[in-house]
Structures are given as structure tokens and as C-alpha cells.
Chain A
């Protein structure tokens, strides 16, 4: 992943403290307001701010429910996916800013890259910092990276880059990239099967704080062109991370995922979670790749130990 890639030297962004999470009502109201005004079909510049929320901490009850839902053992170390949920309210606050150039409502999660740089314990008090970068044209609209970091005493212990797509929004002056076709999909040999109930959208919303109604409401899903509610991408990615398991990923790891076709709930999904070097690999931590698909791929990704 691009974690090591340094940002060009520039004036530090303005720091804005976030003291309380953006409510769903606010998000919805702003989204609807945008829709009512016809929405901005041309994206402006990204706000040059870093949002900071101090004193973020795991809730043991929510953590246990999260771990059980995604298929992790309940332990006192936070997996990358749960750390994502700790930073998520701050990311949401960024997307919901009136000066954010893309509409938060209806955004598509294209990809997610995260690093756990050292094990983070359930009791650690963390500062979440979020900025946005890489506002780039995409063949279906405009993509943006929301970069979140969790740090303690200035040490970044987790960093996540979420790439979102605003469909139909264009960057002024930028050419739309060619309609690059995805390479033809060949399903690997499955190693497992996920049976995802109709309620996993609601259950993941409860443990992650991502209450986007596209995951919980048939009506909302329809409004965005899906026949049924769709699974949270991060829920499926977290399940794949759980399937790799602690022995495979080690203490510090990079976890990357690209989302393709959404999973319409309920669903039965084939999965392959396997060492990169295929059969014959030892049990020591090594790179894993994963994929989940029905007829078409839902997500592909990898988990790679960092040391």
C-alpha cells in the first residue's frame, strides 16, 4: 500500500477539532438538500483541513459484538476493521462538511487500505485525525481518498485510506478516464462459504456506527438502484481479515481490499482466503490474498504482515 508514500511538502492543513459525531439526521438532511438543489455536478476543491477527535476509545461491549459478527475471537486487541470504525465518525464529519465537494449520500466505497502498525489494546486512548486527498476523475464520476490515522502520544498505530466514488460528479477541467474494462474474472477454488442473513446490514451498522440506510432499508437501497439492501463493504472485508486469522496476519499488517459488485442481502457468497504462495506455505505469518464472489466478484484483497 501507499502508506510509506510521503505527502509533498506543503503548508500544514488547518486543524479542526471534532467534538461530537455527525448525526444521521444531519447527514441525511444535507444529502437531501444537495439532491433537492440538483446537487453540484462539478466538484470543487477539497477542504484543506485536518479533522481531529481526541480521546477515542473502544467500547468493550460494542467491540465484542463487532468481533462476534465478523467472525473474530473476542480478544483485547483491536483488529484493523474495528480501528476503522473508531475513526469512522471523524471521516463522516469530513464527508458531511458543507464545503466538502462531493455528496456523502450515495457514495460508493471503491477500495480500502489500512495498516495496523502495532497491536492496539482495548484500553488505549487514541486521537483520530482525518483529511481528504486525491480528488481524481473516475470513469463513473469522481473518486476521493479519505485518510484516517489513529495515534497515541504522536505515534500513528493505525492508518486507513478509504477511496470513495461520487457517481456522476465531475472534476472541473479533468478528462473522464477511459472506460477501462476489468480483467475477466476467474473464480478461484473456494475455501469457504459466507451465509449472510438479511439482518447483517443492521447488525454491522450497530457495531460500526455506519448507519447508511442503503445497508438497512429496502426503500433506501432501491433509491440508489439496488433491489435489496447491500452489505457494508467493510463488513465483508473484516470477515476476510478474520478468516486470515491472527496466525496468518501477525501483530502488524497491511490489509487492502477492492470492492466490486455489492453483496445484496441476504446472500450466500463463495470465499477464498489463501496464502499468496499457495499450497505448501508454512503456518508462519505470510501474505494472504482473499476474494469473495457469487457470479461476479464482490471483493478482492490481501493481508500482508508488516514485519
Chain B
């Protein structure tokens, strides 16, 4: 486009820079910063606001903080889990509605709750290969503005009606519609292949690993207390843009207590023989929100006078066969992390910051239990013994999804921004990020302080 020439455009990295690690090895990709909007509870502050609005709010905050208004960024990748079919180009539409230059390419990614992780890793890899110099990864979800679809028989009848040419064919299609078909279907957190909700799946895993109600409530309490403390310390001041009068995550209960959490009735696992332990307090609520992460090459960051927070070192995906009960639905990170660490010659002790997404308090606990279990590690992971123990003082130190909420695709960006800033504050060290996802998927990532 001719009209872009008067803007300070940045050309592709010269080949020399792409190769400056020597011997053709990729250069490093750094996390420059992150920005999100406070997460709301479904049906709350962000009611009647759609995914594009939420993503634009997070993007515009990032653009403002890093002075990118009107600039062309290499690429923006984002996604949503609860996505309307009309939003086939959600991220591109969000870019067009943001303060970024209109010639910023964008694409959508969808990998359930690991969407945010995949956008970050995919873009970081492009930066490492020299295909991009800068990029914005993101994710957004609105459980309040979820797509509602017509029933399958009605949808098929309407499609046939649309294809019908003669009045007879049209009548035939219409005649198939029954009153019962008119009820709309809202999306559920049910696994399509098993019919069990994510909470019911995790309740089976929780029972199998013998995780107690008290241990889950302790994780939930710590999440709220630590997130509240991080807000009070101003940790999120440069990671967040207020939106619609919300300045902190709406789900955060700074004053919660073990007593309050213990008073809640179980909601999942009530069909099982084992006592039900999972409540609304130790499970994440349906949430609305968006997050973004600014990624770049060192050269691009330096050129913009920006100090990188962390380096994206490596990542690993995993999947488990939950359909046949071989593993719990949310146990894939238990496989991804050991494989990732083995490839990098690291152990759990080598990490100063460990972030395990709290889909449920028990997801964290069953993952930790699996890594400490001799049989699981030998039989399932093929290790000579237990994988290791996570130091709880390094785990989710600023709280996680139980307190912040979990707008599915936005969680990866929230966690990576938090972990990167923690590493930058320390000035050294490594962070491990683990995110479980629907479909038996899991994602693990290693970050390193950029300094």
C-alpha cells in the first residue's frame, strides 16, 4: 500500500540478523510485555460486549503502553474458544478496530484453553526463524456473549429449505420441523465425545487420585490471597487496562477464608461413589476477558527502546486418551512437562517460577500428585522413578485462574505475561508454564529471564 510509506515502517530482519546466533541457529524471541483487561464473571461487567470488543480493549491498552499506535506489527494471532461463526476472522477484525496500522496481518488460532499458549509459541517460533520481527499474541473469550445455535434437526431442515427449488420440496423441509426443534442450544463445557462436562471429568480424576476437599480449598484460598496481594503491590499496574469500570478481576475474593470455601456445596462428581469435593469455590467460574502479549526479536525491542522481560525458550504439547479412561481429561500437562524438561536437560528444581493453570484446584493437585507418584511416572511417563516435587512457594505465586477467572483463550496470555514479569523482577531464572485444555490437550512452556 502506497500510503504506508510515510509511516515508520520496519523492514524484515536482514538475513544476517536472522542468523546472528551463528551457524544458522534461530535467534531468540522475547516477551516485551503484556496487557489484559480485568476478567469479569459471566453475566457481569462485560455483558452485551462481544469477543471483538474485549480483544480490541486488550490490544489498544498494549498499543498505548508500548507506543505502537498506527504502527504495523509483524502479525497478530489470537483466538477464542466460544466463537461465533461470523467471527471467522476475529483477530483481523479486532486489528481493524484497534489503534494498530490497518496493514497489520492477523490470523485466528483455536486450541481450546491452550489457545493463548499456541498463539505465543507459534509467533515466537516465527520470530526465531526470522519470519517476523514483532508480533502480538492474544486470546479472548466471552461466556456472556456465547454463540447460541439452533437445534440440529432445525438447522438441517432450514438448510434443506434453502436448497429446495419447488414449493413441494419447501413444504417437505418445513414439515420436518417439530416444536421441540425450536429450543436453542447454548454451548456447554461438555466434551463432545464423552458427554461429561469438564468438571465431571475432573471429578473422576480427583477421586482417582484421592484429592481431598480441604487440599482443594487451600489452593483456592491461596489463589485469592496471592492475587489480591499482587494487586495491592501494584504488580498488575503495567499489565492491565481497566475496562467498563472494572479495575480488578471481578471474581477475586480477597476476604475469602477456609470457612467460607468449606461452606460451599459440591457441584461436580455427585454421580460418583467417592464423596464429591469440587465446589464453585475450588473450580473456575465461566468468565469474560482478553489478554495480549507483545513478542519481538531483540533487535526490534532495542530499536523501540523496550527492555525484554523474558525469552520464550521452548514448548511442548501433549494429549491423553481420556475417552477410554486411560487418563484424566486434564492430565496432558503431566506428560508435556516431563517431555519438555527432558529435551532441555532440566528438572523441576531448575525453575524459580512455576505456573500451573488452575482450571480446578484439583487439576493442580492431581498433576503434582502424578509427578510424585512412582507408578505413574514409571508406567505412564517411562521415567525411572518419580518426576519430582514442585516447591509450593514457587507455584502460582501471584494467584491463578481460581481467583482471576478463566476466559478460556485469554488464560495463556495472562499467565505468560505474569511469569515474564516475575522473571524480569528477579533478573534471572526460569519459569515453567503448564496449561490443560479440553479434548485431553496440554501445553507446557519454558521462559527464561531475558537479561
Contact = CB atoms under 8 A, between A and B. Distances in A.
A274 to B, nearest CB: 5
Interface residues of B, number: 22
A245 B322 CA distance: 13
B244 interface: no
A187 B204 CA distance: 13
A189 B208 contact: yes
Contacts of B194: 191-193, 271
Contacts of A193: 194-196, 200
Interface string A265-293: 00000111111000111010000100000
Nearest to A274: B325
A194 interface: yes
Most buried by B among A189, A195, A243, A274: A189
Contacts of A191: 194, 322-325
A190 B327 contact: no
Nearest to A272: B325
Interface in A207-225: none
A243 B194 CA distance: 8
Contact of B324 (A194, A199, A270, A273): A273
A50 B415 CA distance: 69
B379 A280 contact: yes
A187 B180 CA distance: 33
A270 B271 contact: yes
A187 B271 CA distance: 11
Given A270-B271, A280-B379, A280-B380, A190 B196 contact: yes
Given A272-B325, A273-B323, A275-B324, A192 B193 contact: yes
A189 B324 CA distance: 11
B391 interface: no
B323 A192 contact: yes
B412 to A, nearest CB: 27
Contacts of A273: 323-325
Most buried by B among A187, A191, A244: A191
A203 B159 CA distance: 20
A283 B321 contact: yes
Contacts of B204: 189-190
Contacts of B393: none
Given A190-B196, A190-B204, A281 B325 contact: no
Contacts of B200: 193
Contacts of A274: 324-326
Contacts of B323: 191-192, 243, 245, 273
B327 A279 contact: yes
A230 B170 CA distance: 33
Contacts of B191: 192
A278 to B, nearest CB: 9
Given A243-B323, A279-B325, A281-B326, A192 B196 contact: yes
Contacts of A190: 196, 204, 271-272
A173 to B, nearest CB: 47
Contacts of B380: 279-280
Interface residues of A, number: 25
A199 B326 CA distance: 32
A71 B207 CA distance: 28
A2 to B, nearest CB: 27
Contacts of B180: 199
Interface in B231-285: 271-273
Interface in A171-210: 187, 189-195, 199
Interface in B165-205: 180, 191, 193-196, 200, 204
A273 B437 CA distance: 22
Contacts of B196: 190, 192-193
Contact of B195 (A192, A199, A279): A192
A273 B204 CA distance: 14
Interface in B308-353: 321-327
A243 B208 CA distance: 22
Given A193-B196, A193-B200, A280-B380, A187 B273 contact: yes
A248 interface: yes
A187 B323 CA distance: 17
B214 to A, nearest CB: 23
Nearest to B180: A199
A283 B321 CA distance: 8
Nearest to A188: B325
18 contacts: A189-B208, A191-B194, A191-B323, A192-B191, A192-B193, A192-B194, A193-B200, A195-B195, A243-B324, A244-B324, A271-B194, A273-B325, A274-B324, A274-B325, A275-B324, A279-B326, A279-B380, A288-B324
Given A193-B195, A271-B194, 16 more contacts: A189-B272, A191-B323, A192-B191, A192-B323, A194-B195, A245-B323, A271-B195, A272-B325, A273-B325, A274-B324, A274-B325, A275-B324, A279-B380, A280-B326, A280-B379, A288-B324
Nearest 5 CB-CB pairings of A with B: A192-B194, A191-B325, A193-B195, A274-B325, A193-B196
